[in-house]
Amino acid sequence: MDPKFLTQLAVIVELGSVTKAAQKLNVTQPTLSRSIKVIEDRVGGAVLVRGRYGVAPTEIGERLAEEGRAILRRSDRARNAIQEFMHGLTGEIRVGVGPMIAATIMGDFFSSTIKTPPSYSLKIHCDVASRLTLRLKEDQLDIAIAPYDLNMPEDELHREKLFSDKLAIFVGKDDPLAGKSAVPPKMLASYQWVTVGEISGLFDLNRETLDWLGLSEVTPLIENTGEVTMTFRMLEKTRACSMLPFRMLGTHQKRFRIAPVDLDVDLPTRNIGFWTTAAARNRLEVIDFFDRLQTYLSEIGLI
């Protein structure tokens, strides 16, 4: 089948309209209708159904549209590669970062790469740890900055510890517990808890830690998976608390007006790792990126 038909189907499904797809692709509606007819003749059934708000794919239509999206992504990457080569860039690095480290450390780090640009381009993808490592294994990423202590088979991915960290309970800067020493965990029982989804890359760590702290009766009011500065704002403005990485937040505690509670017990570690595949680790671009990142982490006192 001509790949062009699949890419046209993908655009139709994305926009939910043959008319809008024709405008985007700069072709006529009859042209797209003929393309769909070719696909349906090959399939032996419908790939699109018309509804109240436009067209939607059938099950086989969605599968074929995904193949079309993959073709479009590869085409875009090829076009970007040509543009980057023309501008003197010799390669690219696809970097995955978690929401927490993206909100605290990596923005400033990537700013430093703009000031002293590398010879390669950077493609940044933000997601939770479990999906970042999956994308690494599927060759959709070259690097992931994610929790070090993930349970992954050694022959699948390569990891190196970037810096050590531990979890802490954070509250708003003006909260009475922010200035106390050796706080018993039971004093947090009356707080509204905001959990950050997959905070360590390990499922149920929030629940297990609450149980260990003797706070089994606590039920988190809000779970936030994704943009973590929302959590910081909730801590600033309400009598709430959240389990967050201590060292990673660093000077950002002042920026977001949050503070750790000095508990009379220690919480689990949350070390951060540099994840790649064994093959990618020896690429010159990856070596350069790792060296730059280590230099930056040293400058801000994390290693």
Summarised one tens digit per residue, pLDDT across range 143-157 is: 999 889 887 666 679
In-domain check, residue 184: yes
The length of the chain is 303
Mean pLDDT of the chain: 88
Considering the domain architecture, whether residues 51 and 186 belong to the same structural domain is answered as: no
Span 244-261, mean pLDDT? 87
Dihedral over Cα of 106, 111, 116, 117: its sign: positive
Please, where are the H alpha helices in 250-283?
A: 252-255, 278-281
Rounded to 5°, the CA angle 228-234-238 comes to 160
CATH number, domain of 41, equals 1.10.10.10
Considering the domain architecture, whether residues 230 and 98 belong to the same structural domain is answered as: no
Considering the domain architecture, whether residues 177 and 246 belong to the same structural domain is answered as: yes
CA distance 205 to 113: 34
Q: Which residue has the tokens 């200035």?
A: 179
pLDDT higher at 200 or 198: 198
Which pLDDT score, from 0 to 100, does residue 200 have? Answer: 43
Distances, alpha carbon 101 to alpha carbons 10, 25, 97, 109, 166, in Å = 34, 39, 7, 11, 14
Which pLDDT score, from 0 to 100, does residue 175 have? Answer: 96
In-domain check, residue 8: yes
Span 208-217, mean pLDDT? 88
Which pLDDT score, from 0 to 100, does residue 156 have? Answer: 78
In-domain check, residue 266: no
Considering the domain architecture, whether residues 236 and 286 belong to the same structural domain is answered as: no
Residue 153: which domain range? 89-163+271-299
Structural contact between residues 202 and 229, judged by C-beta atoms closer than 8 angstroms: no
pLDDT band at 75 (very low <50, low <70, confident <90, very high): confident
In-domain check, residue 237: yes
Considering the domain architecture, whether residues 108 and 191 belong to the same structural domain is answered as: no
Considering the domain architecture, whether residues 152 and 282 belong to the same structural domain is answered as: yes
pLDDT band at 87 (very low <50, low <70, confident <90, very high): low
Structural contact between residues 135 and 244, judged by C-beta atoms closer than 8 angstroms: no
- Percent of the chain having pLDDT more than 70? 93
CATH number, domain of 277, equals 3.40.190.10
pLDDT higher at 180 or 256: 180
- Burial of residue 290 (number of CB atoms within 10 Å: 0-12, 13-18, 19+): middle
